[in-house]
């Protein structure tokens, strides 16, 4: 069975700035930074599998957060 196509993510300038800011914060939870990085990489067109390998997490985790962001935008990452 073929792997379904990943949900395309397009970020507004505001969203991209917010996510980049979350990565740079010193006092941000590691999970929050990881979610931000998943979405930023997805917006660059990186595949779910490549994101998972790069971050050392599962493809299911990447798929979950990519979908949540697509559905609820920044609120979906909380």
- The pLDDT averaged over each successive group of 10 residues in the chain (78 residues) is 78 96 86 95 96 97 97 94
For 62, the domain range is: 13-77
Distance CA 68, CA 66 (A): 6
In a domain, 42, yes or no: yes
The number of folded domains in the chain is 1
Residues 71/64, Cβ–Cβ less than 8 Å: no
In a domain, 58, yes or no: yes
In a domain, 2, yes or no: no
Residues 41/19, Cβ–Cβ less than 8 Å: no
Signed CA dihedral, 49, 55, 58, 59: sign only = negative
pLDDT given for residue 20 in this prediction:
95
In a domain, 37, yes or no: yes
pLDDT given for residue 3 in this prediction:
63
In a domain, 3, yes or no: no
Distance CA 17, CA 3 (A): 31
């Amino acid at each position: 069975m073929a792997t379904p196509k990943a949900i395309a993510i397009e970020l507004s300038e505001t969203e991209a700035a917010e996510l980049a800011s979350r990565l740079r914060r010193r006092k941000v939870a590691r999970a929050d930074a990881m979610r931000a990085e998943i979405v930023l990489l997805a917006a660059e067109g990186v595949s779910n599998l490549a994101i998972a390998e790069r971050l050392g997490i599962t493809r299911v985790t990447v798929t979950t957060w990519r979908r949540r962001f697509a559905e609820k935008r920044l609120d979906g990452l909380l």
